[in-house]
């Protein structure tokens, strides 16, 4: 039991958007994907409740071992420490972190938009990424938010964030203007730099 709770390592990765920060945990936080946009919908989920109790937390997305937090105010230097403590505390306590009710509240996938995004990735994005040994995979579409993961040469690549924001996201928004947000849920820390052996 002591081994399970032994030093939970978390790396904070500020994103190109200054209001977003990704927290990569050295173990799974949640199998699957869950997004929460406010305190009210966080009720009943111990980890979400604790994160939304931190002043400045606006939105939370959890996928595997990655917790992405959007802030409404505050400095990441102060917020990151509190978020790290909250994640460690809830993981160490054991038990479910996300309630069944929370999962039932998730926005349904729009099959048409999902199919449209998949087609754009297949025809306009992946052929170009493939030339550099990379690819992007559609994980889900919730409402008008697209969740992607990068693999191959893109996973762990220093240019991955730039490629996502100024390449993939621009192509998606141009061809599917209804998309409001593109979220990368890749665990880049476990990727390998494709240019070094």
Cα–chain center distance at 55: 21
Report which of residues 188 and 7 the model is more confident about: 7
Provide the residue range defining the domain that includes 86: 10-105
Regarding whether 172 and 124 lie in a shared domain, the answer is yes
In a domain, 143, yes or no: yes
In a domain, 64, yes or no: yes
Query: Which pLDDT score is estimated for 195?
Result: 29
pLDDT in tens, 52-94: 999 999 999 888 888 999 999 888 999 999 999 999 999 999 8
Report which of residues 99 and 175 the model is more confident about: 175
Regarding whether 121 and 99 lie in a shared domain, the answer is no
Torsions phi, psi of 56, nearest 5?
Answer: 110, -15
Query: Which pLDDT score is estimated for 188?
Result: 54
Regarding whether 118 and 82 lie in a shared domain, the answer is no
Look at residues 105, 140, 172 and tell me which one is the last residue of a structural domain: 105
pTM of the predicted model as reported, rounded to 2 decimal places: 0.59
Look at residues 105, 129, 156 and tell me which one is the last residue of a structural domain: 105
Query: Which pLDDT score is estimated for 157?
Result: 53
- CB-based contacts of 104, cutoff 8 Å, min separation 6: none
Give the pLDDT band (50/70/90) at residue 128. Answer: confident
Share of the chain above pLDDT 70, in %: 81
Regarding whether 96 and 178 lie in a shared domain, the answer is no
Regarding whether 125 and 72 lie in a shared domain, the answer is no
pLDDT at 160 over 70: no
Return the HEC string of the chain.
CCCCCCCCCEEEEECCCCCEEEEEECCCCEEEEEEECCHHHHCCCHHHHHHHCCCCEEEEEEEECEEEEEECCCCHHHHHHHHHHHHHHHHHHCCCCCCHHHHHHCCCCCHHHHHHHHHHHHHHHHHHHHCCCEEEEEEEEECCEEEEEEEECCCCCCCHHHHHHHHHHHHHHHHCCCCCEEEECCCHHHCCCCCCC
Give the count of beta carbons closer than 10 Å to the beta carbon of residue 77: 8
Number of domains comprising the chain = 2
Give the pLDDT band (50/70/90) at residue 33. Answer: confident
In a domain, 4, yes or no: no
């Amino acid at each position: 039991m002591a081994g399970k709770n032994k030093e939970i390592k978390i790396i904070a990765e500020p994103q190109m958007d200054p209001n977003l920060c990704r927290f990569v945990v050295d173990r799974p936080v949640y199998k699957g994907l869950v997004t929460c946009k406010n305190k009210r919908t966080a009720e009943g989920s111990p980890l979400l409740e604790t994160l939304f109790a931190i002043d400045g937390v606006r939105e939370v997305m959890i996928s595997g071992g990655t917790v992405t937090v959007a802030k409404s105010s505050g400095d990441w230097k102060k917020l990151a420490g509190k978020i790290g403590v909250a994640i460690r505390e809830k993981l160490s306590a054991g038990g479910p972190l996300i309630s069944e009710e929370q999962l039932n509240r998730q926005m349904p996938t729009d099959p048409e938009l999902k199919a449209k995004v998949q087609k754009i990735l297949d025809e306009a994005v992946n052929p170009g990424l493939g030339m550099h040994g990379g690819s992007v995979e559609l994980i889900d579409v919730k409402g008008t938010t697209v969740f992607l993961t990068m693999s191959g040469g893109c996973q762990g690549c220093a240019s991955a964030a730039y490629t996502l924001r100024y390449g993939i996201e621009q192509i998606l928004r141009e061809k599917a203007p209804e998309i409001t947000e593109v979220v990368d849920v890749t665990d880049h820390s476990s990727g390998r730099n494709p240019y070094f052996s």
